[in-house]
Structure 1
Amino acid sequence: MSRSKKYALITGASAGIGKALAVACAQQGRNVILVALPGALLEEAAREIQTQYSVKVQYYGIDLSSQGAALEIYQWCKQERLSVDLLINNAGMGAAGAFDEFDYRFYETMLQLNVMTLVLLTRLFLDDLKAQPKAGIINLGSAASFFDVPYKLVYSSSKSFIYSFSRALRQELRGSNIQVTVVCPGGVNTSPEVMQRTKEAGKFAEAMLLEPSFVAEKALSALAKGRAVSTPGFIGTVYRWASWIVPYNLQMRWLSAIFSKSKKNTPVKAVPEGLQAPNAALMPQPVEITNSQKQALN
């Protein structure tokens, strides 16, 4: 039973990797704060964890892609006197398609969620984390963090930013009480749709697909071991090595061949972190993000 007054705060915690991270924290006896879009998914996740584990569970519903979201979350934690010693920036979104096939508002939302909210939450909570005897920050990158990815260029750039930001922040905090780890998985089975598309891609792709619980376990283990980077699974590790040893021009040809297929279709809708966008034409230009799509993202 947890008697600690400290909490792990996890964004995008209503489903997928975020929920798995919340469960993994609870399994370790950590109290948790779940942050995601308001609605049934968030409430059910909080209720499930509260029922199964002897920890305290708080939750806050908010659109993490909105301006001011980070400050609102921080102020709520202060108001409720919730002390955070582990910040997990998990929420994110991505899509595949040629750059000019997406409306500028789509990119504005993606960058606000993937980059701005992560940076601002980290800055807002940093002084509080420094005040703890021991604290940690886990940021969710991607195998795409290691490459310039045509036809997923804004997503991969945002994940490269997270990778660089996390490693640089770790250096600044070296010798302090705060451990920083960036987690860069490959494909993750976060929905039935992803599983179906992976099956269609072949046995190898299906075998390489990671489960959210596995990614969560490896993330917390890497943090505990003081590792700067975690690449859960075979694919993430191979991608990181490939970014070092494969010539850049060959990388570009290889990645273009993989992701240019989505150029032949109209833009696909955004998908939760760790998923590959489908090739089917799902959304006409301009791209709008509906509330139901945001629910899946956060």
Structure 2
Amino acid sequence: MSYALVTGASRGIGRAISLLLAQRGYDLLLVARSEDQLLSLVQEIGQKHHRQAHMLALDLATAGAAETVAAWANRQTNELAILINNAGYGLWGRFEQLSLAEQQNMLQLNMTLPVALTHALLPALHKAPKGYILNVASTAAYQAVPSLALYAASKAFLLSFSRGLRYELKTSNISVTCLCPGATTTSFADRAGMGAELQATANKVSMTAEAVAEAAVTGMLAGEAELIPGILNKVSAGLTSVVPKGIVEKIAAGIYEKYL
């Protein structure tokens, strides 16, 4: 049976996507930092969906992580069909006040890892009858976001990379999709260091990880280029293309900066 590799699989959108793929008959290669959470997911996949699931507990922000994951994946199977680049996080705060080292760590995980892992696993994906790559970005990819400046920039990079790679592979067996969710009920806000007031505001419009995952898996397998789950998120992303950038940035600053 074909395998899907999911990074950042232990919780949130990554966990929900992993369970959906298992439900659809895929075996799983699961990678994340938390060994306990991965073990729990492996057990759930086996008990609920009776699929094989292998796990690798690894800090994906470390140098050489992509090579380690690719070598491990190639040892597990020669039937890789799906790569889900989901690992990533954000940092909330003004650029000059945040630690440069931590921001560089975020960029490593959000940009360098998916690029390196995709490059390393493309030969395996080319062997599949049909291969899929899903890169998880954000609606922040469509605009600059004060106090999330580097996070938004990293997601804009991932969106642009996805579309360019998709075009390069258009005559191949591999389809590339970029998922751009809005606010989602995950641990993103806690990891980003957002305060309770901002988290409460985001929760008012948040989608569940399960709803985002359903849109992601359905759209990826349908070969869509970009996926923006939720009507409100689609409208918001669409407005960024017609509203002057200065106004969009002022609105974003009004949402995020007032709680700093």
1:238 and 2:235 equivalent? yes
Quote the RMSD (CA, aligned, Å). 1.8
Residue aligned with 1:227, SS: coil
1:7 and 2:3 equivalent? yes
Structure 2 distance, partners of 1:253, 1:37, is: 36
Structure 2 distance, partners of 1:23, 1:220, is: 11
Residues 145 and 163 of structure 1 are in contact (CA less than 8 Å); yes or no, is this contact kept in structure 2?
A: yes
Unaligned runs of 5+ in 1: 265-298
Q: Which amino acid aligns with 2:255?
A: I
Q: CA shift at 1:26, angstroms?
A: 0.6
1:94 and 2:90 equivalent? yes
Q: Which amino acid aligns with 1:114?
A: N
Aligned to 2:193: none
Structure 2 distance, partners of 1:68, 1:48, is: 30
1:138 and 2:96 equivalent? no
From 189, 212, 217, the counterpart of 2:185: 189
Unaligned runs of 5+ in 2: 191-195
| TM superposition outliers: structure 1 runs of 4+ over 4 Å | 191-194, 196-199
Q: CA shift at 1:61, angstroms?
A: 0.8
Q: Which amino acid aligns with 2:217?
A: L
Structure 2 distance, partners of 1:212, 1:200, is: 17
Q: 1:127 to 1:193 in 2, by over 3 A?
A: closer
1:57 and 2:53 equivalent? yes
Matches within 5 A, 1:178-257: 178-191=174-187, 200-201=200-201, 206-257=203-254
Residue aligned with 1:128, SS: helix
Identify which range, 174-183 or 236-245, moves more after superposition: 236-245
Structure 2 distance, partners of 1:120, 1:222, is: 24
The CA deviation string for residues 84-140 of structure 1, in whole angstroms up to 9 with x for no partner, is 110000010102110011111101110110001110000000111112110000000
Aligned to 1:293: none
Q: CA shift at 1:198, angstroms?
A: 7.1
Structure 1 distance, partners of 2:66, 2:199, is: 38
The CA deviation string for residues 179-202 of structure 1, in whole angstroms up to 9 with x for no partner, is 1110001100114987x757843x
Q: CA shift at 1:159, angstroms?
A: 0.3
Structure 2 distance, partners of 1:116, 1:28, is: 30
Identify which range, 38-47 or 114-123, moves more after superposition: 38-47
Q: Which amino acid aligns with 2:122?
A: L
Q: Which amino acid aligns with 1:36?
A: A
1:127 and 2:123 equivalent? yes
The CA deviation string for residues 137-181 of structure 1, in whole angstroms up to 9 with x for no partner, is 000010101001111110000000010000110010112111111
Structure 2 distance, partners of 1:245, 1:225, is: 28
TM-score by length of 1: 0.81
1:46 and 2:42 equivalent? yes
Structure 2 distance, partners of 1:118, 1:138, is: 10
- Pick 1 or 2: higher relative contact order, CA cutoff 8 A, min separation 6: 1
Q: 1:192 to 1:113 in 2, by over 3 A?
A: closer
Residue aligned with 2:178, SS: strand
Aligned to 1:261: 258
TM-score by length of 2: 0.93
